[in-house]
Amino acid sequence: AQGLRAVARVPEAVAANAMTFDVEVQQGDRCDQERSGRCWMFASLNTMRFRIIQKYNLKTFELSQAYPLFFDKLEKSNWFLGNIIDTLDEPLDSRLVAFLLTDPIGDGGQWDMFRALVRKYGVVPKEAMPETACSRNTSDLDRYLTRYLRACAKRLRDAHAAGSNSDELAAMRKDMMGNVWHLLAVCLGEPPEHFEVRLRDKDNKLALAGSFTPKEFFAEAVNMNLDDYISLISAPTADKPFGHTYTVSRLGNVVEAGQVRYLNLEPSELKRVAIAQLKDGLPVWFGCDVMQSYLRDEGIMDTAALDIDSLFGFEVEGALDKAARLDYGESLMTHAMVLEGVNLDTHGNPTLWKVENSWGKDHGRNGFDTISDAWFDEYVYQVVVDKKYLTPEQRDIYDNEEPTVLAPWDPMGSLA
């Protein structure tokens, strides 16, 4: 017996997904997010470790993924409690409160949220805060922290109903956050405030040595201006005209960093800027709906590689276009990865993309996937690039336009 995808596989289309590329950046060894939803962190850290590997001529290198996990859960918990205090007068069964209670500290995230974490907390080498059982498989950590936070929400709403003032509620929140820190420290260990670093290059020469705080290490080793890197989305729905900026109500993690900000552009523009950044020797963070038209074992995302509709004899995959899939809940961003190569035709247009995933070296082809250009059009929703690649007009809109606020449950608010 074979599954639907195996039967619907198109060998000729699969053959078009060869792993040789016109433009390519060379990464270190593959990383593995294991049984956690940290793809957005792995993708972000993969773009940062790439810079460290290049700068110090290393064979490979990994940044700690448990470190930002700790602070993301901490900040999301505080963000959640703030939203609960902000909605104390909303009915418990309102769509908003129900939405806030659904998944307050899930593993997923957006680039803007990762940028906020790094700006506040820096980064550390993997040895300085290694993986634990709870970072490798986050289900228990998420379950118990979510349960505690829902209990906190009830306590805050009950206290408000009983007449507690804002100072009393703030004191409760502070006490709750102390417990959140303790829970996270039990699961993940205490994050380091400073650590020793010894990096040896490909020739075994000492390339970097010293004692650093996490912020000092980011400044020294990654040396990346976080503010230059922005999120471009591509959503062709009627409520989001291209060429404008958007944010998502109540979406974020670090309170003082504020909310996410996107510029919505056609897929061709996302490709243009991604190619420009790859040609300049830097990888590109992106978000997509990974399981669509996906031959997972082979690591191939290609709308031509699976012919589901011929198998059934009527339109299933073809029954909705991209806008309708977003509007009707069939598609949203589910996974973040890194673009590290592209093939171009004689006119300079992309035909195939090389992707570094975070599912370990045994996935796909040595941990890499490919994306066909047609798949990019349909299922890539976001890229993060240096804003210098925008046109002057696009940059002006991103920097100066007041963003349209989307509902908390908008598909562009989904967390990779």
Q: Which of 224, 243, 276 finishes a domain?
A: 224
Quick check: is 48 in a domain?
Answer: no
Residues 46 and 83: their CA atoms lie apart, in Å, by: 31
Domain end marker among 224, 240, 268 = 224
Give the CA dihedral 328, 331, 334, 335, nearest 10 degrees: -160
Query: How does residue 395 score in pLDDT terms, banded at 50, 70 and 90?
Result: very high
| Whether 298 and 189 share a structural domain | no
The DSSP code for 403 is: P
pLDDT tens per residue across span 23-38: 999 999 999 999 999 9
Same domain, 175 and 137: yes
Q: What is the pTM of this model?
A: 0.97
Give the SS3 label for residue 220. helix
Together in a domain, 318 and 358: yes
Q: Does residue 205 form part of some domain?
A: yes
Q: Are residues 189 and 128 in the same domain?
A: yes
pLDDT in tens, 142-191: 999 999 999 999 999 999 999 999 999 999 999 999 999 999 999 999 99
Identify the domain containing residue 173 by its residue range.
56-224
Asked if residue 160 belongs to a domain, the reply is yes
Q: Do 385 and 302 lie in a common domain?
A: yes
The reply to whether 20 and 76 lie within a common domain is no
pLDDT at 160: 98
Pull the structure tokens for residue 312. 């059934």
Neighbours of 347 (CB within 10 A): 5
Q: Is residue 50 part of a domain?
A: no
Q: Give the residue numbers annotated as catalytic, written as ranges.
A: 39, 335, 357
pLDDT at 93 exceeding the cut of 80 = yes
Q: Specify the pLDDT at position 311.
A: 96
Residues 235, 350 within the same domain: yes
Residue that is last in its domain, among 173, 197, 224: 224
- pLDDT at site 44: 98
Residue 351: enclosing H or E segment and its boundaries?
Answer: strand 350-356
How many domains does the chain divide into? 2
Tell me: do 361 and 332 sit in the same domain.
Answer: yes
Same domain, 289 and 403: yes
> What does the pLDDT look like over 361-381, one tens digit per residue?
999 999 999 999 999 999 999
- CATH number at 100 reads 3.90.70.10
Please indicate, yes or no, whether residues 197 and 318 belong to a single structural domain of this protein: no
Mean pLDDT of 305-314: 97
Residue 155 and residue 299 in one domain = no
Instruction: Give the chain's radius of gyration (CA, Å).
Output: 22
The mean of the pLDDT values for the chain is 97
pLDDT at 2: 81
Give the pair of three-digit tokens for residue 133: 């059982």
Residue 26 domain-assigned (yes or no): yes
Joined together, the tokens standing for residue 280 give 């300049």
Do 286 and 362 have their domain in common? yes
- Percent of the chain at pLDDT > 90 equals 100
The pLDDT tens digits for 265-279 are 999 999 999 999 999
